[in-house]
A and B are shown apart, each in its own frame.
Chain A
Amino acid sequence: MSKTVDLNQEGVQVKKSACYFCHQNCGVLAYVKDNKVLAIEGDPEFPTNQGGLCSRGNSALQHLDHPDRINYPLKRVGQRGEGKWQRIPWQQAIDEIAARLSDIKGQFGAEAVATAGGTQRTDDWARRRFMNLFGSPNGFHNAHLCWIPTFMVETAIYGWCPFDLDLGNSRCLVLWGQNPGASGMPEMHHIVELQQKGLKVIVIDPRYTETASKADLWLPLRPGSDLALALAWLHVIIYSGLFDQEYVDTYCEGFEALADHVADFSPEWAAPLTWLTPDQIRDSAVMYATNKPGNIQWGTSVDQIGRPAGATMHARALLRALTGNLDVPGGDLLTGPSREFITDEEMEANDSLPEEQKAKQIGSDRFKMVTWPGYGRIAELSKAFWGKAPTAEWMCEAHPPSVFRAILSEKPYPVKALLVSATNPISSYGETNLVMEALRKVDFMITSDYWMTPTAALSDYVIPAAGALERPTITSSYGCADFLLASQRAIQPMYERRNDYNFWRDLGVALGQQEHWPWETVEDAYFHKIEGLGSGTENYDQFVENVRFHFPEREYSKFKERGFATPSGKVELYSTVLEGLGYPPLPEYVGPTENEIDHPELAEKYPLVLTTGGGFMPFHHSEHFQIKSLRYLRHEPYMDINPATAASLSIKDGDWVWIETARGRIRQKANLTNGIDPRVVFTQRGWWYPERDMRDPVLGGCTESNANVLTTTADKDCDPFSGAWANRGLLCRVYKADQSDDKEVR
């Protein structure tokens, strides 16, 4: 038995759409008739996925008209979280929300309105535009845990973030805390292809992942100890003479100071900190430094280790410069922002936000790299060199845990409204108990989403968001790439769903911003952005159908003529930008956020090291648990534990166990695996149970198995550079759950 849709029937159009279930945005062909999608498949002509689709991508039609989708604006009629809703027309929702925001602004100032976002599943330049015009600096995402701090630290050192890897010409790839085998299928495909042509792959990961199993070298380091490894690599490369002398002499400043600084960070020093052997550290450094050109690919891990995160990004960034792998053929390229199309930053209206409002951005007094002080400095350097700045949305945001604390304490000032778009903070932000307390307290909360998430359930209004096949997509690495891939919507949104763009635009118009929103549809706005590419097309859909991709010719070694976008025009191994912001100009050693050396008493109570947050198929963050054709693969949450450790705790494979940190405890099922160090456990992220009661206090069992109950966002545990909080390198204990615990969790 199999079912086949006749794709050759009369009236079927093929739309060049994109998947929207992670930000790889794989190309999707949608077969459409009468505004209905009959079938989807991976687009063989799309350069990244080349016809492939992961399990999530294949579920697009299950997602599109799932019975649990939010299809109309909902207004709360009972108590917050009581689950009583009234369906109201779109315009009524917009008008009522606008009136309330206006009141709050009048009484408490525009800064009393904050917005929360998730991963890049929205057009958040539009959200930024709305917030700038409204006058609030307090937008934020989970940006702190995902690339943004890395972007800013690297840009401080060499004038742009070298995220564009020239992998086709590379001889060695370092995957530092990244597992594309479970989170980036198109990347994994290219890596395996290139390995067959001789590419060496080093995987740095505490877990023996899908990707680690294909690597030439696997470094199973202690979670959160990446800084010791990076410093020891610097030591080996300098003191074994493996650095690129000419590159360093000609294009870098501060080599002597760096050499002195890392003199004591030998592999022997790093071995007990990283749980690796000196030989593993030395051999891997040699492999990277001698197989040139080579790449270090970004992964989220270092962004998520909390206190040592910024220094780790700094140390890791220096490796590329020392080895001369920066902006050379086969290396990590510094493309700068696009000079050919209008970037996201240019759509954000950042100049509309008055300086006194920028100064009020919550968290900017402590965490300067991704708030106005650091962003302002980097934007200034970037504009002088490239003519344009990085995207401010993502790169310049309020500090989320501090906003949640401001809601509770009204310090430094009251925050009264939270507009949540495409995120479920209860599952996705650090320290769930803090987040829940803040969400229950905030005066006014709006959530725009596909589903009635635990966060949506606590809201005053729920706004129906258009999904993958109902929206156009421009893929351009958070608006920072010089390339773009354009995709079209397969159908107009079903029911009364709208794009997030339309939500922010309509809200802006209702608040008197009419003249600043000349583009009625997303396509109009997108076409405004890309019109300058001179493709001879008259509208966005034509561009997708006839052009679709823009990949400018690569310009290598631009530094030879132009230098770098730093104050000295060189790679600043000794960073004057970081120093100017009050951070160490050279990466100083900081231990993992919680560790057995600095915190022996804590380690006695919580003897295991916890890592959380790694991606696993078929879910993405806290999504897709509703979709049966995915959920059947994994009904329940699993944590990884070594069989020897499990035996010592009388835990058998499949047992429910509690994982507990100083913040709280959750339960998941034990997956006994040799692929993890006996001293480490790994918990899956994102879990909640949409099949359960969605009313407060159950809220879909959103605290029962939620890894963020365990994470920490206390200032002392955050990265001082960015405020990134800690998901990894924490201390925990694990014990078997018994049946009497069911009462507590249900």
Chain B
Amino acid sequence: MTRYAMVMDTRRCIGCQSCTVACKIHNELPLDIIYNPVTTIGPTGTFPDLTLSFLPLICMHCDNPPCVDTCPTTASVQREDGIVYVVDSKCVGCLSCIMACPYGARQHNHETGTVSKCDFCKDRLEQGKLPHCVATCHQKARIFGDLHDPDSEVSKLVKNNRTVQLLGELNTDPSVFYIY
């Protein structure tokens, strides 16, 4: 069974925010909703002995998603391939999923009254295309694919590199892996 996953190779990320903008523009999101923020860490240290890194964020599409468990209307759904998304017509905007998500990946959409979040561009996947944030990344810092396919680039990267899942101690088992 497919499990979609994303690897963030932070060694390559330069914080250009192309992913942030591509997602927002092509998914026609309201200005205050961002699925793909890129956090700048630094420069830390004292001039000129410095380090600088960037942390791209996104919905973790957890294998154990607390947002789905908490949704009282079954609007938050986890597909068999791991994609977690919101069925807009069922969402009543109670915001409990926003409270439940430890990653801040969900936002209240003031235009629709519902909760909005990344769905790994599931409709594009059906057209054989990559999520916008992955396709647009010049640096190839975002890699997307099927974690259960041993030949996929993501599974090889996860196998061959030291990776971390954010807030792993919560046992949410994110589908997003970071190489740093």
- Chain A interface (Cβ < 8 Å from any Cβ of B): 1-4, 6-8, 39, 41-42, 49-55, 57-59, 61-62, 181-182, 185-186, 188-189, 192, 208, 210-211, 213-214, 218, 220, 617-618, 628-630, 632-633, 642, 673-678
Q: List 30 A–B pairs whose Cβ atoms lie within 8 Å, in order of A's numbering.
A: A1-B88, A1-B116, A2-B122, A3-B27, A4-B124, A6-B127, A8-B127, A41-B136, A49-B138, A51-B135, A52-B140, A53-B22, A54-B16, A54-B18, A57-B136, A58-B22, A181-B15, A185-B16, A185-B18, A186-B138, A188-B138, A188-B139, A189-B140, A192-B139, A208-B47, A208-B50, A213-B50, A629-B21, A629-B25, A633-B17
Q: Are B114 and A213 in contact (CB under 8 A)?
A: no
| B1-29, CB < 8 A from A | 11-12, 14-18, 20-22, 24-29
Specify which of B22, B29, B42, B138 is in contact with A1 (CB 8 Å cutoff): B29
Closest to A41 in B: B135
Q: How far is the CA of A218 from the CA of B52 in the complex (A)?
A: 13
- Is B80 at the interface (CB under 8 A from chain A)? no
Min CB distance A534 to B, Å, is 33
Q: Are B114 and A210 in contact (CB under 8 A)?
A: no
Most buried by A among B52, B112, B124: B52
Q: Are A1 and B53 in contact (CB under 8 A)?
A: no
Specify which of B14, B44, B48, B116 is in contact with A218 (CB 8 Å cutoff): B48
Min CB distance A2 to B, Å, is 4
Min CB distance B21 to A, Å, is 4
Number of interface residues of B (CB under 8 A): 48
- Chain B interface (Cβ < 8 Å from any Cβ of A): 11-12, 14-18, 20-22, 24-29, 31, 42-48, 50-53, 86, 88, 109, 112, 114, 116-119, 121-124, 127, 135-140
Q: A4-B121, A8-B127 are in contact. Are A52 and B21 (CB under 8 A)?
A: no
Which 4 A-B residue pairings sit nearest by Cβ, starting from the closest? Answer: A52-B138, A55-B21, A4-B123, A213-B52
Q: A192-B12, A677-B48 are in contact. Are A4 and B127 (CB under 8 A)?
A: yes
Q: How far is the CA of A213 from the CA of B16 in the complex (A)?
A: 14
Specify which of A51, A54, A189, A632 is in contact with B31 (CB 8 Å cutoff): A632
Across the A-B interface, how many residue pairs have beta carbons closer than 8 Å? 138
Q: Are B28 and A210 in contact (CB under 8 A)?
A: no
Q: Are A52 and B18 in contact (CB under 8 A)?
A: yes
Q: Are A618 and B21 in contact (CB under 8 A)?
A: yes
Q: Are B138 and A7 in contact (CB under 8 A)?
A: no
Q: How far is the CA of A4 from the CA of B31 in the complex (A)?
A: 18
Q: Are A3 and B138 in contact (CB under 8 A)?
A: no
Closest to B38 in A: A633
Q: Are A676 and B47 in contact (CB under 8 A)?
A: yes
Min CB distance A268 to B, Å, is 19
Specify which of B20, B27, B112 is in contact with A2 (CB 8 Å cutoff): B27
Q: Are B17 and A182 in contact (CB under 8 A)?
A: no
Residues of B within 8 A of A674 (CB): 42-47, 50
